[in-house]
Structure 1
Amino acid sequence: MKESARVLLALVAAILLGVVIAAAQNASLIRTADAIAPIGTLWVNSIRMTVIPLVVSLLITGVASVSDIKSIGRLGGRTVLTFVLLLIGVAVVIIPAAMAVFALLPPHGELQIPPGAVEAANEISAGGQAQTFSAWLVSLLPSNPIAAAANGAMMPLILFTLLLALAIARAPEASRVTLTGFFRALSDAMLVLVRWIILAAPLGVFALVLPLAVHAGATLAGAIGFYVVVYSIASVAVTLLLYPVVTIVGRIPLRRFALAALPPQLIAFSSSSSIASLPALVEAAEKELQLPERVSGFVLPLAVSSFKIAAPVSWTIGALFVGWFYGVPVNVNSVATIAFAAVFLAFAVPGIPRGMQSLMSSLRC
């Protein structure tokens, strides 16, 4: 059985078993499901521990091994432009689609914002330091790259790594060959480690999803359940719309791409982290799709750290849901402003679970 099939089977089994346990309301079974959650956390941590050395080694190898530095600049420019165009395309599609769905709903009722909600939100915001745009811009270049790596600050780390890779590319031949060989060997070793970790993916996914399914069984109802369903359908629809783009623009057969993308998608789904899916993405790009090294070594690390295709979806649906829930009308101009703001703020969102909330908690109006 292929790895993707085993992971998918584990995912489905965890969801079905979780729903059954939730319906039974058996305290012993619920405690058992909660007890295996640390196994899933350990598996996600094992993936994450490979991410930074893999990102650094792949970027340096991909950039420093190219003799023509201008080609890297052109590739980077095309990559960022592609990211922006895809995000804008998603925003253009999701605005009318989401507004049409919410327009079909009966009024939920003009509920009052719960007492103390505003004060609680202010306290949460005050808990972190306010960050201005200039402060955020300065933070992109780390004063201490080791600290950036330790803190998981991917964008500053990637900028430092790109500068280091460009410096290595311009270094004397002997130094360039030595350093490039070292980082190539490091990336090869990390990919071996990744293959070992991916072998445990079915167990890790099962341990992650089962406790969630057990507790979601009691809450997937009412307004919150409706939001989850609408957001999930929209995310899946946006993902499926990108498949023809890959076939037409990338000239990769649809079935081949879908099979290669499935394992990274399942890992991203179960861990709620795009960064955690990087090792599987690199594995699929090199083994299944035979993509060139400049793609697996440059574009993919850049994508998981800065390209958040779901940002316009989550912001748009979230705004419409809150407006519907509290009976506050949200017009098309407001929705468009929110969706297109998400296009550019998406590049500041870390590719970790609840990354958007991490960004928003550091910003105050």
Structure 2
Amino acid sequence: MDNNLLAAFESNWVSLLITAVLLGLLYFLARKRVGFGTRVLLALGLGLGAGLIFNQFGLETEGVGTIGSIYINFIRMIVIPLVFVLVINSIISITNMNYLRKLIVKTIGWFLGTTGIAAIIGLLVAVLMNPGAGFQAAQPEGYEVREIPSFFQVILDQMPSNPINDAAQGKVVPILIFALFIAFAIVKVGSRKPEAVGPFKAFIGSATEIMHQVVKYVLRFTPYGVYALIAVMAAKYGWETIEPLAMLIAVSYIALILHFVFVFGGLVSLVAKVNPFVFFRKAYPTVAVAFTTRSSFATLPINLEVITKRLRVSPQIASFVAPLGASMNFNGCGGVWPAVVSVFVSEVYGLTLTLTDYVLIVLISMISSIGVAGVPGPASISTTVVLTALGLPLEGIALVVAVEAIIDMGRTAVNATGTTVTALLVASSEGEFDRESFNRGEEDEMELNPA
């Protein structure tokens, strides 16, 4: 066996041995009924510490990464059927079409409004802190600027043509639209011939219950998946990668944290009229999983559990808002990030942005966040759209590639939490929020300990 291959094999086993011990600790805590949120937080810390050790000693993490990939695959396995049955089940339980229209307007309105505020915060922080000052532009080798799909192509790509094929390719938005057609047809036919849709409605109700149980099974792996994902991330990025763009990382996270604390905290406090500290504590599992998986769709199953079991929002609202939010609510990716990158690129290339440019950044960020729904890599596409509209060099995107994964963790956490906040706001306005249970601190630990 080649010496290098043998060394890599042995290195993988060392990291796997360390991982096995730490995962055993997490399992032991689960058996002792330690809370799910506590175990996720501990997994985050253990993964970060282990990853730094792997990086320091040059240990391979392919084996550890496989554990994280298995968890992500399990999540992907349930997203399509979960969205399909939940959307249908949510719509067919609404007999008042005026009520449904209100839900749509309020939900998308909050998505757009909070994304616009996020862009403003990103602009303000970036302008004040000058993340591109003194930066030496150096385009990463092999980088290719992503092609911007036209608005009409984006629309066409999200329309279902073959639902089976769309499901096989993991395209969530076409499945969501197909589910809406099915749900509206059930409501229409059911108003004339209730007996014709009875069996199918019973099937959807049964499938919903079954999928909830499948979700519980999969989410039991969350602490182990979180550990593996954060360990690989910490092992991959050393200080030599982060140092040149440390200011950009700082600016991005300061803007994300400001939006998270003051905008989300302010909305749940002033609009939903609940204690923001209690809200953040209850929403923590969503934040942790989004932060480590870097995927709103991967966070969707646990977000649904958090919204209904911990925040006490009705399943009807949660089943409508959460899938929609995973598809088009991009406070971090579509609001903060394009604004910060626009200022960064303008500084690096010595270009001046005017007040008109700032207004355009906010407006285009809001529009593009909806326009890229379901497009892979929405942050990159949204940023490309904004830079193009402002006439800034697209090559600037290449400058931030090295640290984008690190920033994406925070962006996704903000995206997913924004969906949670919107679900609470909409439910509160429609009387679908159990305020008494929330205030009493009643919450289901989501039954995620081993049986």
Specify if TM > 0.5: yes
CA deviation string 1:15-38 (max 9, x = no partner): 12322443x3x23xx21x332101
Are residues 1:140 and 2:140 paired?
A: no
Shift of 1:298: 0.7
Are residues 1:156 and 2:159 paired?
A: no
Corresponding residue for residue 36 of structure 2: 3
CA deviation string 1:302-335 (max 9, x = no partner): 1111111111200011122223334444444334
CA deviation string 1:208-253 (max 9, x = no partner): 1111101212345333233223212221221112122112212333
Which segments of 5 or more consecutive residues in structure 2 lack a partner in the other structure?
1-33, 389-451
CA–CA distance in 2 between the matches of 1:152 and 1:34?
A: 25
- In the alignment, is the contact (CA less than 8 A) between 1:145 and 1:157 conserved in 2? yes
Corresponding residue for residue 186 of structure 1: 207
Are residues 1:264 and 2:286 paired?
A: yes
Q: Give the count of matched residue pairs.
A: 350
Shift of 1:362: 10
1:282–1:255: structure 2 CA closer, same or farther, 3 Å change rule? same
Match of 2:149 among 123, 131, 138: 131
Shift of 1:116: 8.4
Shift of 1:351: 6.2
1:335-350 aligned within 5 A: 335-350=358-373
- In the alignment, is the contact (CA less than 8 A) between 1:15 and 1:213 conserved in 2? yes
CA–CA distance in 1 between the matches of 2:85 and 2:71?
A: 22
CA deviation string 1:271-330 (max 9, x = no partner): 110111111111112211221122111111111111111112000111222233344444
1:57-206 aligned within 5 A: 57-102=85-130, 107-108=133-134, 111=136, 114=139, 121=144, 125=147, 131-171=149-189, 172-206=193-227
- Which of 12-21 and 236-245 deviates more? 12-21
- Which of 180-189 and 301-310 deviates more? 180-189
- In the alignment, is the contact (CA less than 8 A) between 1:51 and 1:276 conserved in 2? yes
Shift of 1:199: 1.5
Shift of 1:115: 9.9
- In the alignment, is the contact (CA less than 8 A) between 2:88 and 2:180 conserved in 1? yes
Shift of 1:364: 11
CA–CA distance in 1 between the matches of 2:222 and 2:141?
A: 43
Corresponding residue for residue 343 of structure 2: 320
Corresponding residue for residue 299 of structure 2: 277
CA–CA distance in 2 between the matches of 1:93 and 1:325?
A: 20
CA deviation string 1:54-96 (max 9, x = no partner): 1111110110122212211221122112212222222233322
The structure whose RCO (Cα within 8 Å, separation 6+) is larger is 1
Shift of 1:255: 3.3
- In the alignment, is the contact (CA less than 8 A) between 1:107 and 1:327 conserved in 2? no
Q: Partner of 1:16: helix, strand, or coil?
A: helix
TM-score (norm 2): 0.71
Shift of 1:350: 4.7
Corresponding residue for residue 317 of structure 2: 295
- In the alignment, is the contact (CA less than 8 A) between 1:19 and 1:214 conserved in 2? yes
CA–CA distance in 2 between the matches of 1:115 and 1:248?
A: 45
**Structure 1 segments of 4 or more deviating over 6 A?**
359-365
CA–CA distance in 1 between the matches of 2:336 and 2:387?
A: 22
Corresponding residue for residue 49 of structure 2: 16
CA–CA distance in 2 between the matches of 1:115 and 1:38?
A: 27
CA–CA distance in 2 between the matches of 1:284 and 1:57?
A: 18
1:262–1:98: structure 2 CA closer, same or farther, 3 Å change rule? same
The residue type paired with residue 10 of structure 1 is A
1:255–1:363: structure 2 CA closer, same or farther, 3 Å change rule? closer
Q: Using the aligned pairs only, state the percent identity.
A: 24
